């Protein structure tokens, strides 16, 4: 078990960890597919989404709403249906459907008693503002792909995060825990950077991966949800009293 009392900051993935993007993605895309008389299983939707997203995040940097538009167009191409410009924006226009998990707000509130904390997220600022209203609790920082100019799992995002926390809070790498649902986007690069990490293995249509490509890596700790993490952390600090 980690000694939680020796850390000063928790950095988080947001979508998949704080926000149930899996449910939001499925709701939006299934509405579109129904209107096109296209039948695709939930698992296949998520698998294709993960591949399309990853492919689109390479090359010249584009903000995430453009990535979402491209994902929809790739679905249309793969399953042979037409989409209008309005339909191609179905994911970003329905971003309000990406809502927090039931344990997110209370866990943030609990964990903030012990740490500085905020997300390192593959998103753009305008879209994160929608999520911020739903999270209720104010975070210490929000570091987005738009700020950094690249997407996780690029190590550049983690290098940016480490510099930001050191420059603004005097927090060193060995004082940080990175918490995330995606092994591919977060646990693998955090491990490569020598950052202590926790895998939040949330329930999913695609167990073990969720909306991400698969990755083989052993996290420093695994929890099923943020409620469990908050309880374990609180217990560690109580034991110190």
The confidence score (pLDDT) of residue 240 equals: 67
Residue with tokens 């217990």: 235
User: Active-site residues: which are they?
Assistant: 13
User: What span, in angstroms and rounded, lies between the C-alpha atoms of 153 and 115?
Assistant: 24
Q: Which domain holds residue 155?
A: 4-20+100-240
Decide which of 42, 76, 96 is a domain's last residue: 96
User: What span, in angstroms and rounded, lies between the C-alpha atoms of 175 and 190?
Assistant: 13
Q: Domain with 59 in it: what CATH number?
A: 1.10.150.750
Per-residue pLDDT of the chain in tens (241 residues, 90 and over written 9): 799 999 999 999 999 999 999 999 999 999 999 999 999 999 999 999 999 999 999 989 999 999 999 999 999 999 999 999 999 999 999 999 999 999 999 999 999 999 999 999 999 999 999 999 999 899 999 999 999 999 999 999 999 999 999 999 999 999 999 999 999 999 999 999 999 999 999 999 999 999 999 999 999 999 999 999 999 999 988 876 5
Q: Domain with 124 in it: what CATH number?
A: 3.40.50.1000
**Count of all residues that appear for the chain in the document:** 241
* Residue 163 CB partners (closer than 8 Å, separation 6+): none
Q: Are 86 and 115 within one domain?
A: no
Q: Are 64 and 8 within one domain?
A: no
- Which pTM value belongs to this model? 0.95
Decide which of 96, 115, 135 is a domain's last residue: 96
Please state, in angstroms and as integers, the Cα–Cα distance from residue 108 to each residue in 9, 117, 119, 208, 215, following that order: 12, 9, 11, 23, 27
CB 105 within 8 A of CB 226: no
The confidence score (pLDDT) of residue 39 equals: 95
The confidence score (pLDDT) of residue 1 equals: 77
User: What span, in angstroms and rounded, lies between the C-alpha atoms of 76 and 74?
Assistant: 5
Rounded to 5 degrees, what are φ and ψ at 218? -100, 110
Q: Give the DSSP letter string of 73-125.
A: HHHHHHHT----HHHHTHHHHTGGG--B-TTHHHHHHHHTTT-EEEEEESS-H
Q: How many domains does the chain have?
A: 2
CB 161 within 8 A of CB 143: yes
Q: Are 64 and 11 within one domain?
A: no
The confidence score (pLDDT) of residue 241 equals: 55
């Amino acid at each position: 078990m980690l000694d939680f009392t020796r850390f000063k900051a928790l950095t988080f993935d947001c979508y998949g960890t704080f926000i149930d993007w899996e449910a939001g993605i499925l709701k939006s895309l299934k509405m579109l597919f129904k209107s096109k008389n296209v039948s695709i299983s939930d698992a296949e939707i998520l698998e294709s989404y993960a591949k399309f997203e990853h492919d689109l995040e390479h090359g010249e940097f584009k903000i995430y709403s453009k990535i979402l538009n491209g994902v929809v167009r790739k679905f249309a191409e793969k399953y042979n249906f037409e989409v209008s410009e309005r339909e191609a924006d179905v994911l970003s226009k329905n971003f309000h459907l990406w809502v927090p998990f039931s344990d997110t707000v209370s866990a943030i509130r609990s964990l903030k008693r012990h740490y500085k904390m905020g997300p390192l997220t593959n998103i753009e600022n305008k879209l994160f503002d929608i999520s911020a209203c739903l999270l209720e609790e104010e975070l210490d920082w929000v570091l987005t792909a738009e700020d950094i100019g690249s997407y996780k799992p690029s190590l550049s995002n983690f290098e940016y995060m480490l510099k930001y926390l050191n420059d603004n809070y005097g927090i060193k790498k060995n004082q940080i825990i990175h918490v995330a649902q995606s092994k591919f986007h977060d646990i693998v690069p955090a491990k490569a950077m020598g950052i202590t990490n926790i895998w939040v293995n949330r329930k999913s249509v695609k167990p073990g991966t969720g909306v991400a490509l698969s990755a083989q890596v052993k996290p420093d700790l695994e929890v099923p949800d943020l409620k469990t993490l908050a309880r374990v952390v609180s217990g560690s600090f109580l034991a110190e009293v």
